[in-house]
Structure 1
Amino acid sequence: MVCALGAAVCFGTATVLQAMAARAAAATGAAEPGASGPGTSAGEAALLLRALRQWRYLAGLALDGLGFVFQIAALRSVPIYAVGAALAASLAVTAVVAARLLRVRLSGLEWAAVGVVCAGLAMLGLASGAEGDLSGPGWLPYAMPVAAAGVLMLGAAGARMSGRARALLLGLGAGLGFGVVEVAVRLIGSLRPAALFTDPALYGLLLGGGAAFLLLTSALQRGSVTTATAGMVIGETLGPAAVGVVWLGDRTREGLAWLAVLGFAVAVAGALALARFGEAPAGTDTPAPAPVAH
């Protein structure tokens, strides 16, 4: 659980650092004569290149990498439902860090939501047992690349929509893609190259993660950050948690199932209340060129 919380801190802090770098890169670009305008492909590519020259953006990428290592360690040690809720809590970390570094003003309700997330995670920490010891049915690893392909199809359908429906569907698809990653990590049995590269769960992990990143980036570029992030939180928590409980043997401490369910619901509800912090926090003039990593 410490690793899951460490991943949340890394991802949440990385989001703010990348937002700060994007603001600085945008300001630099605006001062350059002949710079491409925002919203064009050339302008977005130039913004990303300028951001990559900012130490804050590079530090954010490093934190994303460290957070992914923590995420893998957590998924191999505690139930998926606990890790999913902790990752959703990275929005609370983003909110708190943004209030300090970006001088984003949090409302009383948002500070309350941060407290709610912490309370939910505390309940989960008390109630969570060890990770399940079941490998699931034989078809489950093969279902991972199929599910990842389904995420891409969902993204194609969402791209044809507009407004909040588009952002919600793409965000939900991104969450499901991140969920495929969570489940696939648990299904990978051996890290020996001969076994790893013939494991279908590995290809589900790679395809699911790539699809999730693409869908979330698209949702955040042309839709509501709040709506897209809310869809992502729902997709990456509910589905993987159900797979862990039904097929992988994830359980709670004896007699504390009710506390785990309550803690999960409270943590996710608090994260949804902070959904506007899903990318660059409110108050930044220019969105970060990359979404929250998982």
Structure 2
Amino acid sequence: MSTTVTVPDVGRTIRAQREQRGISLRELASRIEVSPATLSGIETGNTTLSVERMCRIADELQLLPHRLLDEVLEGPAGRAGAGQEEHPPYERDDLPGRAQGRWREFPELPLDPALSGALIAFCDKGFHGASIREIADHAGLSVSGLYHYQPGKDAMLPALLDLTMADLTWRLDVARAEVGPGAERLHRTVECLALFHARRPRLAFLGASEMRSLSAGDRARITAERKRVQRILQDDIRSVLGQIPSTGRLMVTLGNAISTMCTSLSQWIHHDGSIAPELIASDYADAAVAMVSAHVVPHQRKAAR
């Protein structure tokens, strides 16, 4: 019994892999020496794809050629189907880099194809605007294939936001444990927050824009984690401010200002190499410490008189 490989299936996979790497259609077309219209035709299944050209595309995407055929050839048989155990909740200790405590490194996260496609679609169209078909297209899957990974669209958003918080909080805990309280710890906390939002911009953007789309239970759980992060930041600000008269108010207002500064990174940062995310994070941490310390100096001067 022969297996028929359909161009639309391969084309969807090529498109999903290209978008996950942040490569534009025009750029990939230039690399494989075809017109953007030809590559668009390949991705939509309207243009014939030769084995030689498929291998060229796979090479530019840094994939083995068979990866572009996996979904087509394996089909439902090799996937976790309905009725099987669902993907367990993300555990912080299982995330890449956690065991080694490498909080400044950002290896690829364990996203299944459905969640990878959902992340792109939700960021581009919003949760309510993204259709299952669009998610499947970004994932390089058929709609039926999508359901072998996730039970539905409503399950994908909380899964992505749970992963976001798990990946952020282990980094914060490790980063802060390396230094003592005071300005140095505040610097480390803000550096970690800023670096995360610069290095995981899609997940960070989703967390900032789609909390309203969660169910009540999921929203309460993820909100509790977000409040924990905010309390960490406020505690570090308090340790720098000390016992000046306005500590309580400044802890809240400066904490909100600094966290907003960090979360907004995902809305404007572009990894074009002009400014390294590590430098941005260090600059943000310097600015945060200076912002908080500026409120301490006048009180120190008064005490010295």
TM superposition score normalised by structure 2: 0.30
- RCO higher in 1 or 2 (8 Å CA, sep ≥ 6)? 1
TM-score (norm 1): 0.31
